[in-house]
Amino acid sequence: MSDISPIARTFATGYEPAARAATANGQDAGVARGSDRVELSGSARLLAKIAENPIRQELVDRVKAEIDAGTYETEDKLDAALEELLSDL
């Protein structure tokens, strides 16, 4: 659940924040206001990074077709993948 308070209040009930009432009466409300801050989650950062790099749909379609046809995995690709794996270890 969000901890964000609503921005607007209904004044039909007669409720008026003290700061608004004091300002409307020409008085200094004397209310100290903090600064706003936004924090992005790791997921939000990842989604932003993904949005910067558009998907090359023609490549995705070609790879899917090769996988379906059974021609995607070749001996050269498997050797290259194994070499990369071994170099990471």
pTM confidence score:
0.35
Q: 29, 18 in Cβ contact below 8 A?
A: yes
The model's pLDDT over 12-66, given as tens digits with 9 standing for 90+, comes to 555 555 555 555 555 555 667 788 888 889 888 888 888 888 888 999 999 999 9
Amino acid letter at 8? A
Distance CA 76, CA 67 (A): 15
For residue 27, the model assigns a pLDDT of 56
For residue 67, the model assigns a pLDDT of 92
